[in-house]
Amino acid sequence: MIIGTILAFIIVLGVLVFVHEFGHFIVAKSVGIYVEEFSLGLGPLIWKRQGAETQYSIRSLPLGGYCKMAGDNPHDDKITGTTNVDQERIPEHRMFYAKTVWQRALVVAAGPIMNFIVAALIFGVIFMILGIPTALSNKPIIGEISPGGPAAQAGLLPGDRILSVDGIKVESWDQLAEQIRSKANQDVILKVQRGEVIFETVVQPRQERPDGPGLIGIVPKAEARERVPLHTALWYGLLQTFHLLIALVVGLFELLTGKLTGPIAGPVGIAKMAGQAARFGLESLLNLTAVLSVNLGVLNLLPFPALDGGRLAFLGVEVLRRKPVDPEREGLVHFIGFALLMLLILFITFREVVSLF
């Protein structure tokens, strides 16, 4: 189980990082920027291969990656490690800073944009192959479970039938939902039927807003699904991604303003969700990958140093000033921002590890 969780985590995170960095890479190449290194992971080198001009590598810490462009950030070597590229041999016109502000902005924005595109494609594939639910059952049978939610943590699986909530018999999904919603932040005993086996488990409905209902992260089983053609599936995938993007932006705003509460998942939390999703089935794992891809895109657009949004903010200042910000100063700001992000990740990871014991 632990090996499966680790493997699912590496696959999901690897896909998200590759997609994001490939967005930067392909657009940088298209506008003529010299890309020194394209790496999956951070830290010590595990594998590398030298292309015509770009070094492709895999590094030991699967918590990110980078697309190192010549002339991008003077402090990059402190973050990524030195390369064997002699920058004096690179033509001036192929440096990142030599491109127009709009070309640089497109390169920076390409990572998050690629995350959104891939999420839409994943949703589209699900809709085309597995179909779109056209009718949901009112029986108290779980159809899907949100990885990382209270139901997943309680060990529930898709297909489980809920027989009772705190001893109160439930015969419909409406009755089940009513009981769960009224017991926010309380330990609830569920009697569950899984095949021929009947067992009990404890779950605590999560209250995401101070006045909100209790939720455990489940949806009812679909009674019918309709497969749709490719173009329709892709359109629905775009709509799903757009609605999810808006919901994440609103949720992030409410989180920052204190209207929304809940734990913030770090590497350990994401690994647990990936493991749970893999256990629930391919559809759940694909859905989680798409959701995390949109999350990664949105978070990277935040105007914080070292993130793509921070770089776009500096480019916006350049447009307003009609001259670039000093590269050394901007690079130092991004380096400090990167260090703060690493400290935040370490803090969240430490807190998650401690909570396991």
**Ranges 71-85, 115-129, 199-213, 244-258: which has the least confidence:** 71-85
- pLDDT value of position 160: 92
pLDDT at 261: 62
Q: Which of 147, 347, 120 is nearest to 234 (CA)?
A: 120
Region 6-27 average pLDDT = 91
pLDDT digits (tens, 9 = 90+) for 147-188: 878 888 888 888 899 999 999 999 999 999 999 998 888 899
Mean of per-residue pLDDT scores for the chain: 86
**CA separation for the pair 182, 214 (Å, rounded):** 6
Name residues whose C-beta falls within 8 Å of residue 261's C-beta, 6 or more positions apart in sequence: 207, 208, 209, 210, 255
Domain residue extents for the chain: 2-127+295-355, 136-226
pLDDT band at 37 (very low <50, low <70, confident <90, very high): very high
Buried b (16+ CB within 10 A) or exposed e, 86-113: eeeebeeebbbeebeeebbbbbbbbbbb
Q: pLDDT tens for residues 228-241?
A: 899 999 999 999 99
pLDDT band for position 131 (cuts 50, 70, 90)? confident
At residue 192, what is the residue type? V
Higher pLDDT, 107 or 270: 107
- The one catalytic residue among 21, 36, 37, 144: 21
Fold of 136-226: Pdz3 Domain (2.30.42)
Question: CA 339 to CA 118: how far, in whole Å?
Answer: 29
For 201-224, how does the pLDDT look when each residue is reduced to its tens digit (9 = 90+)? 999 998 877 777 889 989 898 888
> Which of left, alpha, beta for 330 (phi over 0: left; psi -120 to 50: alpha)?
alpha
Please say if 53 is a catalytic residue.
Answer: no
Q: What is the pLDDT of residue 247?
A: 85
pTM over 0.95: no
Which run of H or E residues covers position 143?
Answer: strand 142-145
Distance CA 284, CA 222 (A): 14
Tens of pLDDT along 41-93?
888 899 999 988 899 999 988 778 899 998 886 555 544 554 555 566 788 88
How many percent of the chain have pLDDT more than 70? 93
Task: Give the type of residue at 95.
Answer: M
Task: Specify the pLDDT at position 76.
Answer: 56
CA atoms within 13 A on the CB side of 151: 27
**Does residue 327 or residue 69 have the better pLDDT?**
69
Residue 307 pLDDT > 70:
yes
